[in-house]
Structure 1
Amino acid sequence: MNDVETGPVAAPGKGPQGRRRGRGARERILHASQYLFRQQGIHNTGIDQLCEVANVSRRTAYQHFGSKDGIIAEYLRQLDPDTMPDVFDRDDLAPRERLLAAFEIPQGVVDGVTPLCPFIAAAVEISVPDHPARIRVREYKLSVARRLTETAREAGATDPEELGEQLALLLDGASVRTRALNADAFRTAAAIAAILVERAIPQTLPRPH
């Protein structure tokens, strides 16, 4: 499944007297950023609100991440560090099946509504090309295309680079369309992906007896 398309993140929990339960400052900051950035956006989340939810001082946040930009970049790095391992690292599926598994309906979809891919959302909010978050987004999206290409090559595609790029574009398009229309576009994307895969990967004919 497309694991960057998760459902709403649980709000940071509080223990007795408002203290956070069993989390270090760095982990609390990242947990708060995951909740706030997904719920209200990056620009709408100020560093003071982030520190308040994480129960840390601004100084502590800067000691760990240097700036809000550093928090944003690390937030993105933590979302999917291994690039969709629940799709590409599955031993129970053949390579051809793994390509199509990337289009399974994302976890957390309710009535066809899903949050926008956080990497796409970050790219929309942050226009500066050399911003640490934009760099991370670019790295991640290239990584997805690369893993699709590697899997397409393993499956025997005649042009794995082309198929990988086509499927990567289709994934992002399904994410944006689902969010824009509040209607699941992944079923249609999966059907298109099946056609692309069918055309790109020759069927193995049985050997004559």
Structure 2
Amino acid sequence: MTEPEKGPLGRRRGRGARERILGAAQQLFRDQGISSTGMDQLCAVAQVSKRTAYQHFTSKDELVAEYLRRFDPHVMPGVFDRTDLTPRERLLAAFDMPASTPLCPYIAAAVELHDPRHPASLCARDYKTAIAARLSETAREAGATDPEELGEQLALLLDGASVRSRVLDRESFPTAAAIAAVLVDNAVPVDAAVPA
């Protein structure tokens, strides 16, 4: 039987160090950014030793990538997997963000890291591609004449609203939702059949 892990002060911590590290990363990366968060601070918040942190993640880069992979692994299921909404309503529901929504962590990581080959940048690229694909798929279900184009337009609008909200410190998603409605109305013929 293995001994329970001990924290930096020698106290028994039990299992769950990996989850505490990821929880601390989520909090600190969101609140102060990736570059401003050192491993010492992260370990203190997670209540683990640096040795334990590096047993779970071989580098901070790996930790950042895992943090992003776990942030929204199913790509907005609260929007795209809803069966109570029509495809058109799901497209517009993507813009129904609460006023307290922070800057998209994928955008924040890609901008802050500056390296397109960084593991987190690759995660961000994959996520943004997946969002556009889900929007395009939903646009196709709604009957859009060019679902890929509409998906890309809506993805760009989502990212723009996220950044603008953060930079101006004011809500931009209602305006983006109004623009999205116009884009959807122009792309989906009035007589488009909604699949069962």
TM-score, scaled relative to structure 1: 0.84
Aligned partner of residue 130 in structure 2, secondary structure: helix
Per the alignment, do residues 53 and 96 of structure 1 end up closer, same or farther by CA in structure 2, a change over 3 Å counting?
same
Q: Which has the higher contact order (CA 8 A, sep 6+)?
A: 1
User: What are the equivalent positions in structure 2 for 1:1-209 lying under 5 Å apart?
Assistant: 24-106=16-98, 109-110=99-100, 114-204=101-191
Gaps of 5+ in 2: 1-8
Q: Deviation of residue 61 (structure 1)?
A: 1.1
Segments of 4+ moved more than 4 angstroms: 17-23
Q: CA deviation at 1:105?
A: 2.6
Aligned AA (1:50): L
Contact 1:19–1:55, Cα closer than 8 Å, also in 2: no
Q: Are residues 56 and 100 of structure 1, via their aligned partners in 2, closer, same or farther at CA, if it must alter by over 3 Å? A: same
Superposed CA RMSD in Å reads: 2.0
Identity %: 70
Q: CA, structure 1 residues 196+20, in 2 after alignment: closer, same or farther (shift >3 Å)? A: farther
Partner of 2:5: none
Contact conserved, 1:99 with 1:148, CA < 8 A, in 2? yes
Rounded to whole Å, the distance in 2 between the matches of 1:148 and 1:20 is 47
| Number of positions where the alignment pairs a residue of Structure 1 with one of Structure 2 | 185
- Kept in 2, the 8 Å contact 1:123–1:137? The answer is yes
Change beyond 3 A, Cα 1:196–1:48: same
Q: Which runs of 5+ in 1 are unaligned?
A: 1-16
- After TM superposition, the score normalised by the length of structure 2 is 0.89
Residues of 2 paired with 1:28 and 1:120: CA distance?
24
**CA distance, structure 1, for counterparts of residue 105 and residue 154 of structure 2:** 18
Contact 1:20-1:55 within 8 A present in 2 as well? no
Q: Quote the offset at 1:59 in angstroms.
A: 1.6
Distance 1:22 1:58, change over 3 A: closer
Output the CA distance in 2 between the equivalents of 1:116 and 1:97.
24
